[in-house]
């Protein structure tokens, strides 16, 4: 059995260690709060850059440093908090022990060290050095790696540093390449660029979204909406309204499959301004339900003279002609002029009748 003095000494020593850990943790928490306040003030200073001027390079470097400090302090606080919790657990076990304590379990391994923050200044210098040495391919590869690996906030900071002291076009290349990642990451980079006032690079990244394949657009629209960027989502649909017929057809089908009927209608409304021949080809390529929706939109939006041209283009496709005619006849009073013009052009104005078979005549 251990002596009373030895047993009592362990809790006392542990309590002293706990007090020291608490004091250090309090000090680190104060430092972390100060770093967070400093980061917020730097962000406000960057956003206050007048007009279309780029943010000051010194402010961007300070922001990168204070973010590194804040994250390092946060990681150390978590580490100390884990150590303090483990120590307090052992103290409670000692206090409730009446006999020889059971052998203590092995202490948990220390938490892994916090991930090393990227040296954004060093990356900027390497890219600049490679470019000056004529190694443009290597510089571009480094930019591509940065776009793929950096967190959104770090990627935006690097864009800002490159815009200040990097090779011409490097900041735009990095912003554009960020669009090649997952939509969540790309939209987060876009938000960070706008936060830093990097309007030109943010526009470059947003324009790169237009190159997304149709299958990826519904997810991108959903991410933009979750991020509160509804205007960006609407602009993207507006741009797609002028896409080639096959691509627009593919996007409309993808949006329908993803349960986004409002987007389908918006897209087809954007497409309604196309020339008559394009509209006839689009109606022929769309699935039947979407073709009907398009023809209904056209009947509501296009003037009589253009509707007559469209009807003439569809006259060789009875099914599509019938769908357009049905949309016109659904509101005959409104479309009186169009229906009269169709009769003048020798086009049908009554829905086709299907002859009944002799087996049904009873």
* Span 183-242, pLDDT tens digits: 999 999 999 999 888 999 999 999 999 989 999 999 999 999 999 999 999 999 998 988
- How far from the centroid of its chain's Cα atoms is residue 204's Cα? 14
Residue recorded with tokens 């967070």: 36
Distance CA(315)–CA(97), nearest Å, equals 94
**pLDDT band at residue 362, thresholds of 50, 70 and 90?**
very low
Percentage above 90 pLDDT, the chain: 34
Residue recorded with tokens 């990642």: 181
Please check the confidence at residue 246 and state whether its pLDDT lies above 80: yes
DSSP letters, 101-139, are PPPPPPPPPPPPPPPPPP-HHHHHHHHHHHHHTT-HHHH
The mean predicted confidence, pLDDT, of the chain is: 82
Q: Where are the domains of the chain?
A: 4-94
> Are 308 and 340 within 8 A, CB to CB?
no
Residue whose C-alpha is closest to residue 200's, from 152, 148, 164: 164
- Please indicate, yes or no, whether the overall pTM of this predicted structure exceeds 0.75: no
Joined together, the tokens standing for residue 215 give 């299958």
DSSP letters, 143-156, are HHHHHHHS-HHHHH
CATH number listed for the domain at residues 4-94 = 1.10.287
Joined together, the tokens standing for residue 307 give 């509707």
Q: At what angle do helices 199-208 and 183-195 cross, to 10 degrees?
A: 160
Joined together, the tokens standing for residue 170 give 């490097």
Residue recorded with tokens 């909406």: 225
> Are 178 and 155 within 8 A, CB to CB?
yes
> Are 242 and 270 within 8 A, CB to CB?
yes
- Give, in order, the Cα–Cα distances in Å from 202 to each of 25, 124, 274, 315: 40, 19, 30, 47
């Amino acid at each position: 059995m251990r002596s009373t003095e030895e047993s009592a000494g362990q809790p006392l020593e542990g309590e002293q260690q706990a007090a020291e850990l608490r004091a250090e943790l309090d000090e680190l928490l104060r430092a972390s709060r100060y770093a967070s306040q400093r980061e917020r003030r730097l962000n406000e200073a960057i956003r206050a850059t007048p007009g279309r001027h780029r943010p000051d390079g010194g402010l961007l470097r300070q922001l990168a440093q204070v973010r590194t400090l804040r994250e390092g302090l946060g990681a150390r606080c978590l580490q100390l908090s884990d150590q303090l919790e483990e120590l307090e657990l052992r103290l409670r076990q000692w206090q409730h022990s009446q006999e020889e304590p059971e052998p203590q379990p092995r202490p948990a391994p220390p938490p892994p060290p916090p991930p090393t923050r990227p040296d954004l200044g060093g990356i900027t210098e390497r890219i600049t050095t490679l470019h000056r040495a004529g190694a443009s391919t290597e510089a571009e590869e480094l930019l591509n790696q940065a776009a793929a690996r950096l967190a959104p906030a770090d990627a935006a900071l690097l864009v800002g540093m490159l815009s200040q002291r990097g090779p011409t076009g490097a900041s735009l290349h990095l912003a554009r390449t960020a669009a090649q990642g997952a939509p969540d990451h790309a939209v987060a980079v876009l938000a960070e660029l706008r936060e830093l006032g990097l309007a030109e690079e943010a526009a470059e990244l947003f324009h790169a979204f237009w190159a997304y394949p149709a299958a990826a657009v519904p997810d991108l629209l959903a991410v933009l909406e979750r991020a509160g960027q509804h205007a960006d989502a609407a602009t993207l649909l507006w741009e797609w309204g002028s896409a080639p017929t096959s691509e627009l057809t593919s996007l409309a089908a993808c949006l329908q499959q993803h349960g986004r009927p409002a987007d389908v209608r918006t897209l087809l409304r954007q497409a309604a301004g196309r020339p008559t021949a394009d509209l006839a080809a689009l109606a022929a390529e769309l699935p039947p339900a979407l073709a009907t929706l398009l023809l209904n939109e056209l009947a509501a939006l296009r003037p009589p003279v253009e509707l007559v041209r469209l009807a003439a283009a569809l006259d060789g496709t009875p099914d599509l002609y019938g769908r357009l005619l049905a949309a016109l006849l659904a509101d005959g009073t409104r479309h009186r002029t169009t229906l009269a013009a169709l009769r003048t052009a020798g086009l049908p104005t009554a829905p086709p009748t299907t002859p009944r078979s002799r087996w049904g005549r009873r």
